Amino acid sequence: MPDAPAAPAPASPATDTATPPTEINRLIRLQQANKARIRHTTATQRADKLRRLHQMVLDYRADIQDALFADFRKPAVEVDTSEIAAVAEEATYAAKHVAQWMKPERVSTPPQLAGTVSEIRYEPKGHALVLAPWNYPVNLALNPVVAALAAGCPVLLKPSEYTPYTSRLLREMVQSTFDESEVAVVEGAVDTAQHLLGHPFDHIFFTGSTEVGRIVMKAAAEHLSSVTLELGGKSPTIVDATADLRKAARRIALGKFTNAGQTCIAPDYVYVHADVHDAFVDELATAITSFYGETVDERAQTTDYARIVSDRHHERLAELYRDAVARGARPAVGTGEARDGRFLDPTVLTDVPLEADVMQEEIFGPLLPVRSYHALQEPIDYINSKPKPLALYVFTGSEATADQVIAHTSAGGTTINNVLLHYLNPALPFGGVNASGIGKYHGEAGFRAFSNERAVVRQRNVPSPLDLLTPPYTALGRRAVDLALKLV
């Protein structure tokens, strides 16, 4: 097998390229001043911007592939599907539907409000801030921008400092495509994020860890800015005895090891029925070796497998592995080996005790603990004893089992007999619940996240029943109230 290109020097947080606070303040003032104009943009104008964004990611396809390879050796096909196509599709979908979403929505009128008409008007929330993570650094930066543009909000975007090549490219792409008074990118790390959070944005859209989500929400509380928090956590997967084990293993392996496990909705751990545990682990072995190679050397060579984003995250994962093994877990597939260049072998762990760190914290890397159960209630109880997950997957041949899990657990989203798919349908709202997130986006949900649903009632030029209820409260007025109470 030919040598894979060497991994570039580790990407270090791009503090040297950070946008200076004075420049950030200038952009904030500019965008604030522009929000009233953008508010009045028509559906056609917004669709035009969305198509421009769509074209932008296609025009920069090769540069995006290069930047993501430089940041963490993300395979080009994964860049095409999970970054470029994901943004292109979201932008196209929004361009197609934005006129419909913007239409005021007439609602019904209760009898006591006879003589009025009521509607919901979707007005832009105003100036928006997007703070993005590193794991899908184009997708998770630009898809919130799609939603902001559809809703008519100027938006300031800060990508992650951990993917400096991609963050720099995003800045260049946006600069060449949009007026900075509408969309602008600022670079920087935590200091920059905190500087931004000191300003009174109308809406803050944050994607990242639950821990930082809390910090963002506290900062937003200072200005009572509304928030969408797209957070993390552990996404459980249940495989029951009736599941098609081969398909389940291949799909779980793909969902887990794509992006080297650095996917917020990757299956974090698997609970498999004890009767099929060994057969399922065998299928996982077949899937992993057919995807990435028979030996750890082959897997370290293939260009179809990403690297861990930073030395810090690489060491954290290596430590999770060491801790699990020290507590009795067995590497059933893969070696858990961590190598220079931030490679970590895709690894399945069995016999993992619940106290192991790998079962306690979000893994966010290519380690897959597999535990067995006897009764479905066991994984259901376990899941319910933990914070509500962002995603929950069930592999089963039984609709009733799938429905039972859905009915007795809570999660941001669920795919049955596959993984990640609920993320990919723009007609579905995407997001978490409590610790895994607050608010939703994608498609219309994204438009609504950046819109204020304004309640508007128009009184027609006819008498209103409420005109009878002015003081002094007469017998006639009291009779009207008696009647009204019978109607409500």
Q: List contacts with ligand NAD (CB under 6 A).
A: 131-135, 140, 158, 160-161, 189-190, 193-194, 207-209, 212, 215, 230-232, 264, 362, 364, 390, 432, 437
Query: Which is catalytic among the residues 264, 283, 362, 444?
Result: 264
Nearest-CB residue for ligand NAD: 232
Helix runs in 330-461, H state only: 357-360, 377-384, 399-408, 421-424, 443-449
Query: Which is catalytic among the residues 230, 283, 362, 444?
Result: 230
What distance in Å separates the CA atoms of residue 196 and residue 24, rounded to the nearest whole number? 8
To ligand NAD, the closest distance from the beta carbon of 216 in angstroms equals 6
Nearer of residues 189 and 279 to ligand NAD, judged by Cβ = 189
- Residues near 81 by beta carbon (within 8 Å), at least 6 away in sequence: none
Nearer of residues 31 and 192 to ligand NAD, judged by Cβ = 192
To ligand NAD, the closest distance from the beta carbon of 193 in angstroms equals 3
| Cα separations in angstroms, 328 against 349, 355, 456, 482, 483 | 10, 11, 62, 72, 72
Nearer of residues 215 and 279 to ligand NAD, judged by Cβ = 215
What distance in Å separates the CA atoms of residue 174 and residue 310, rounded to the nearest whole number? 26
Nearer of residues 47 and 438 to ligand NAD, judged by Cβ = 438
To ligand NAD, the closest distance from the beta carbon of 31 in angstroms equals 18
* Phi, psi torsion values for 485, nearest 5 degrees: -65, -30
Instruction: Kindly tell me the sign of the dihedral angle through the C-alpha atoms of 269, 270, 271, 275.
Output: negative
What distance in Å separates the CA atoms of residue 394 and residue 402, rounded to the nearest whole number? 6
Nearer of residues 207 and 396 to ligand NAD, judged by Cβ = 207
Answer yes or no: 378 catalytic.
no
Answer yes or no: 153 catalytic.
no
What distance in Å separates the CA atoms of residue 303 and residue 295, rounded to the nearest whole number? 15
What distance in Å separates the CA atoms of residue 68 and residue 235, rounded to the nearest whole number? 25
To ligand NAD, the closest distance from the beta carbon of 64 in angstroms equals 17
Q: Could you tell me which residues are beta bridge partners of residue 333?
A: 348
Exposure of 31 in the CB half-sphere (CA atoms within 13 A) = 29
To ligand NAD, the closest distance from the beta carbon of 248 in angstroms equals 23
Q: Which residues are catalytic?
A: 230, 264
